[in-house]
Amino acid sequence: MDINYKIKDGRVDLKSLNSSELIEYIESLGEKKFRANQLYQWMHEKLVTNFDDCLNIPAKLRESLKENAYLMALEPIRVQTSQIDGTQKYLFKLYDGNVIESVLMKYHHGNSVCISSQVGCKMGCRFCASTLDGCVRNLTASEMLDQVYRIQSISGERVSNIVIMGSGEPMDNYDNVIKFLELINSEKGLNISLRNLTVSTCGLVPKIRELADLELQITLAISLHAPNDELRKTMMPIANKYSIEEIMDACRYYLDKTGRRISFEYSLVKGVNDTKECASQLIDLVHGLNCHINLIPVNPIKERDYEQSNKDAIMAFKNKLEKCGINVTIRREMGRDIDGACGQLRKSYMEDSHESSSND
Ligand SMILES: C[S@@+](CC[C@H](N)C(=O)[O-])C[C@H]1O[C@@H](n2cnc3c(N)ncnc32)[C@H](O)[C@@H]1O
Ligand code: SF4
Residues 128, 226: Cα–Cα separation, whole Å: 15
Distance 342 CA to ligand 1 centre (A): 7
Q: How far does the centroid of ligand 1 lie from the alpha carbon of residue 111, in Å?
A: 20
Q: How far is CA 54 from CA 16, 40, 86, 110, 159, in A?
A: 17, 10, 32, 30, 23
Residue 229: predicted pLDDT: 98
Query: What does the angle CA 182 – CA 185 – CA 189 come to, to the nearest 5 degrees?
Result: 105
Q: For ligand 1, atom 18, which residue shows the shortest CA distance?
A: 299
Contact partners, residue 188, CB within 8 Å, separation at least 6: 19, 37, 40, 41, 44, 45
**CATH code at 10-70:** 1.10.150.530
Rounded Cα gap, residues 311 and 110, in angstroms: 28
pLDDT at 1: 31
Nearest ligand, measured from the Cα of 344: 1
Q: Which amino acid is at 22?
A: L
Q: Nearest C-alpha to atom 6 of ligand 2 is from which residue?
A: 128
- Is 202 annotated in a binding site? The answer is no
128 CB less than 6 Å from ligand 1? Answer: yes
Q: How many CB atoms lie within 10 A of CB 68?
A: 15
Of all protein residues, whose CA lies closest to atom 10 belonging to ligand 1? 165
Q: Is 273 in the pocket of ligand 1 (CB under 6 A)?
A: no
Burial of 38 by CB count in 10 Å (0-12 exposed, 13-18 middle, 19+ buried)? middle
Cα(271) to centroid(ligand 1), Å: 19
| pTM (2 d.p.) | 0.94
103 lines ligand 1 (CB under 6 A): no
> What local confidence, expressed as pLDDT, does residue 3 receive?
41
- Structure confidence at residue 85 (pLDDT): 86
- Catalytic annotation present for 202: no
Length of the chain: 360
CA nearest 313: which of 350, 270, 348? 270
d(CA 187, CA 193): 10
Q: Catalytic: 324? A: no
Binding site membership of 121 for ligand 2 (Cβ less than 6 Å): yes
CATH assignment of 75-355?
A: 3.20.20.70
- Give the residue, by CA position, lying nearest to ligand 1 atom 26: 223
pLDDT of residue 304: 86
Provide the 3-class DSSP secondary structure of residue 6. Answer: strand
Of these residues, 54, 135, 291, 342, which one is catalytic?
342
DSSP single-letter state for residue 331: P
pLDDT at res. 340: 54
Q: Whose CA is nearest to atom 7 of ligand 2?
A: 168
**267 touches ligand 1 (CB under 6 Å):** yes
Report the C-alpha gap between 102 and 346 in whole angstroms. 10
CATH 3.20.20.70 segments of the chain: 75-355
Question: ipTM score of the complex?
Answer: 0.99
Q: Which parts of the chain have pLDDT scores under 70?
A: 1-4, 8, 335-336, 339-360
Pairing mode, if any, of strands 118-120 and 135-138? antiparallel
* DSSP helix/strand/coil, 93: strand
Helices and strands in the chain, H and E counts: 11, 15
Rounded Cα gap, residues 244 and 173, in angstroms: 22
Q: Which among 31, 54, 101, 143 is annotated as catalytic?
A: 101
pLDDT at residue 301, as a whole number: 87
Q: Which ligand is nearest to the CA of 297?
A: 1
Q: Is ligand 1 within 6 A of the CB of residue 299?
A: yes
Q: Are 342 and 127 in contact (CB under 8 A)?
A: no
352: exposed, middle or buried (Cβ count in 10 Å: 0-12, 13-18, 19+): exposed
Sequence ranges of the chain with CATH classification 1.10.150.530: 10-70
